[in-house]
C-alpha cells in the first residue's frame, strides 16, 4: 500500500519557489505543494553562521516518488547543497491518500 510523505526544501527567491511548486505538480511528482510565507533561516555555511530570507516548499507525495522528486528538485535547485528532508506521515485519511496517489500517477 502507498504511503504519503512530506518532502521539504527551501529557496531564497519567491518566484523560484512558486515556479518549482507549480512545475512539480504539473510533472505529477507531487499532488500538491505548500509554499510557506517568507521566513529567516540561520545556519552554518563555510565556517560562519549565515542567515537568509527563504521560502519553504512542502511537497505532498508518495514514498514511491521520493527518489524521482529528489532528482528533479536537485536539477532545478539554486543552492549548492539544497535542504532535502523527507517526513513520513503516521496517519492519513483513506480519501486523502487516494487523492495523493491518483494525482502523482503518470498519465
Task: Identify the pLDDT of residue 75.
Answer: 97
Give the chain's domains with CATH numbers. Answer: 4-103 (3.30.70.120)
DSSP string, 41-99: EEEEETTEEEEEEEEEEEEEEEGGGHHHHHHHHHHH--SSS---EEEE-S---HHHHHH
Task: Identify the pLDDT of residue 2.
Answer: 81
User: Residue 89: how many CA atoms within 13 Å on its side-chain side?
Assistant: 19
Q: What are phi and psi of 43, to 5 degrees?
A: -165, 160
Task: Identify the pLDDT of residue 58.
Answer: 98
pTM of the model: 0.94
C-alpha cell at 70: 529528489
User: What is the spatial distance between Cα 33 and Cα 51, in angstroms, rounded to a whole number?
Assistant: 24
The pLDDT tens digits along the chain (107 residues) read 689 999 999 999 999 999 999 999 999 999 999 999 999 999 999 999 999 999 999 999 999 999 999 999 999 999 999 999 999 998 999 999 999 999 999 76
What does the chain come to in residues?
107
Amino acid at each position: 500500500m502507498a504511503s504519503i510523505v512530506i518532502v521539504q526544501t527551501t529557496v531564497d527567491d519567491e518566484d523560484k519557489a512558486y515556479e518549482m511548486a507549480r512545475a512539480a505538480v504539473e510533472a505529477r511528482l507531487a499532488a500538491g505543494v505548500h509554499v510557506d510565507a517568507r521566513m529567516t533561516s540561520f545556519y552554518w555555511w563555510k565556517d560562519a553562521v549565515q542567515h537568509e530570507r527563504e521560502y519553504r516548499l512542502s511537497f505532498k507525495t508518495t514514498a514511491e516518488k521520493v527518489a524521482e522528486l529528489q532528482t528533479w528538485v536537485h536539477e532545478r535547485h539554486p543552492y549548492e547543497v539544497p535542504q532535502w528532508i523527507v517526513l513520513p506521515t503516521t496517519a492519513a485519511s483513506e480519501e486523502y491518500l487516494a487523492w495523493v496517489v491518483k494525482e502523482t500517477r503518470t498519465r
